[in-house]
Amino acid sequence: MTDTNDGAEDGDGDADAPGADSVALDPWGSSTVSDYRKLFDEFGIESFEDVIDDVPNPHFLMRRAIIFGHRDYRRVAAAMRNGEPFAALSGFMPTGDPHIGHKMVFDELVWHQQQGADTYALIADLEAHAARGLTWDEIDDHAEDYLLSLLALGFDADEGTLYRQSANRELQDLAFELGVEANFSELEAIYGFDGETDVSHMQSVVTQMADILYPQLDEPKPTVIPVGPDQDPHMRLARDVAERTRFFKVTEAYASVAFDDDERPLVAAAYDARGEYADDPDRPRCTEAADYLREADDVTAPYGGDVVESVVEKLENAGMEPLRPRIRFFDRQATDEAFEALIDEVRGEKRVFEGHVDAFEIDREAAEDLALAVEVDHGGYGFVPPSSIYHRFMTGLTGGKMSSSVPASHISLLDDPAEGYDKVKAATTGGRETAELQRELGGEPDKCPVYELYAYLLAGDDDEFAQRVYDECAGGDRLCGDCKEQAADLMAEFLEDHQEKREQAREVLDGLDVELDSRRSRV
């Protein structure tokens, strides 16, 4: 969750380095993604293009496909449209100066706050100490700079929440409780931890799970975490942990026998086709459905043989029981009082079993709402699985990765405007070898770090300007020298304005209850 790079990538190497296509996502390493589309297939990240039409007033990072993917953002977009509570959170590991890669996430937080989100930003000092080995003095040197830049970019401290992991006791108590839901084998599988991994490093992961779910402590609500794709392992674990804390699991069911998630769609298909095989289509029998699926190759073809075999066997075991849709509430870890309360709240026809309740007159959405309400009323967290949006990594100004350890590859938000100007002027471009070839063939803005500066930052909300720069470059009408000169001027103006606003933000930060100096020993 904590954006160590926030749009940049640490380490050395090239975006097309060997092994890049394996898309190994390491939250503390130097993950390289050469083909973002592979994330959709390998990790289940969805294309943001599929949800952008549901987003009111989408941010320019969304419109320009810099935010390229999401997990479960539809529930956040729905809350935004309907004026319902939702939240946004991201964390920052103070390993160096905040830079233009971090600005992307600052902007995403500010935009969500402007759309009505309860917005949280945190300094991930426990993670920086445990996972990166920074001393508390080193952490303190940078913590203030991140918060000043966030405030300068428009974060409303009166409406939002800023905190430091080590100073938030409520967060640490939540992390302790969530630790019950995770084990070493799981962390080993997700992060590659082994016998040499510090316990504090493992504890920092659980603290991040608590960060991600922290906005829901007062009330469950959709929560979005803006991150780079290298942070997706944290999001997958947080969603799993959130689910494990829930009192009840709500699923669709068709008989007293339980079907797995990968089996249920096939059972639904058999039920929908009941008119083809059932003596009484109003009361299709499980054995009839089993016989039908044995012969319905066109229906079973999309499913694996093991799934078909398992479904047929379960239907046979159910015998003459009617195949009938219902909603099933599983008791996962509810108190006895909460389970009894759920039974009482289910209206209409129902059947109560040991460990679950089947309801026949309620739809899935209403059932989810009911289970959540009962859980919260009886002391449960009721966590909504957190959502996430994913932005592309910025290319370094020198080509390859943008690295915090290579000053020429990135622009710090603390750089003198003249230094920022010089870095842009010295940047690698996507231009041709000569001006004549540039005019003839056009440039390659999709491979150009300078064009990225326009798209990610310098064009601001002006899509027409960003598109004009792109088209003029690709068409050969814009030469690299003039383009860099314009970008360098805009960068210097941005840095000058930003640093003036940072100075104004100091007074705001001084008035906030945020600990900037560690109370821990200097080690």
Q: How far apart are the first and last CA of the chain?
A: 25
In one letter, which amino acid is 263?
E
For position 210, what pLDDT does the model report?
96
For position 35, what pLDDT does the model report?
65
For position 25, what pLDDT does the model report?
44
Would you give the DSSP letter of residue 52? G
Q: What share of the chain is helix, strand, coil (3-state, %, to 5)?
A: 50, 10, 35
User: How far is Cα of residue 336 from the mean position of the Cα atoms in its chain?
Assistant: 35
For position 22, what pLDDT does the model report?
43
What 3-state class would DSSP assign to 379?
A: coil
Long-range residue pairs from 348-354, CB within 8 A, at least 24 positions apart, any chain: 353/256
Q: Quick check: 414 and 499 in contact, CB under 8 A?
A: yes
Please report, for the chain, the start and end positions of each structural domain, with discontinuous segments joined by +: 36-245+384-391, 248-377, 407-510
Query: How far is residue 169 from each of residues 102, 172, 413, measured CA to CA in Å?
Result: 26, 5, 31
Helix axis angle for 480-510 and 136-152, nearest 10°, is 110
Helix axis angle for 184-191 and 232-244, nearest 10°, is 150
CA-closest candidate to residue 211, choices 172, 167, 181, 248: 172
Q: Quick check: 122 and 89 in contact, CB under 8 A?
A: yes
Would you give the DSSP letter of residue 393? P
Please give the CATH topology (third level) of the domain spanning 36-245+384-391: Rossmann fold (3.40.50)
For position 24, what pLDDT does the model report?
47
CA distance 343 to 70: 36
CA-closest candidate to residue 268, choices 309, 315, 306, 318: 315
Task: Give CATH for domain 407-510.
Answer: 1.10.240.10
Which H or E run includes 328?
Answer: strand 326-331
For position 21, what pLDDT does the model report?
37
Q: Quick check: 164 and 515 in contact, CB under 8 A?
A: yes
Tell me the residue length of the chain: 523
Each of the 523 residues of the chain gets a pLDDT tens digit; together they read 665 444 443 333 333 332 233 444 454 444 455 566 776 677 788 999 999 999 999 999 999 999 999 999 999 999 999 999 999 999 998 888 999 989 999 999 999 999 999 999 999 999 988 888 888 988 988 999 999 999 999 999 999 999 999 999 999 999 999 999 988 888 888 888 888 888 898 888 999 999 999 999 999 999 999 998 888 889 999 999 999 999 999 999 999 999 999 999 999 999 999 999 999 999 999 999 999 999 999 999 999 899 999 999 999 999 999 999 999 999 999 999 999 999 999 999 999 999 999 999 999 999 999 999 999 999 999 999 999 999 998 888 888 777 766 778 889 999 999 999 999 999 988 888 888 888 999 889 998 999 999 999 999 999 999 999 999 999 999 999 999 999 999 999 999 999 999 999 999 999 998 888 877 655 4
Would you give the DSSP letter of residue 62? H
CA-closest candidate to residue 412, choices 146, 154, 109, 163: 146
CA distance 274 to 283: 9
CB-neighbour burial class of residue 31 (10 A; exposed 0-12, middle 13-18, buried 19+):
buried
For position 195, what pLDDT does the model report?
82
CA distance 332 to 314: 23
Q: What residue has token string 């190759």?
A: 297
Q: Kindly write down the DSSP assignment for every residue of 132-186, as one continuous string.
A: S---HHHHHHHHHHHHHHHHHTT--TTTSEEEEGGG-HHHHHHHHHHGGG--HHH
CA-closest candidate to residue 3, choices 71, 87, 96: 96
Residue 280 phi, psi dihedral angles, 5° rounding: -125, 100
Asked whether the whole model's pTM tops 0.85, one would answer: yes
The 10 Å Cβ neighbour count of residue 397 is: 25
CA distance 430 to 449: 7
CA distance 511 to 508: 5
The 10 Å Cβ neighbour count of residue 511 is: 10
For position 513, what pLDDT does the model report?
84
Most distant pair of Cα atoms in the chain: their distance: 83
For position 33, what pLDDT does the model report?
54
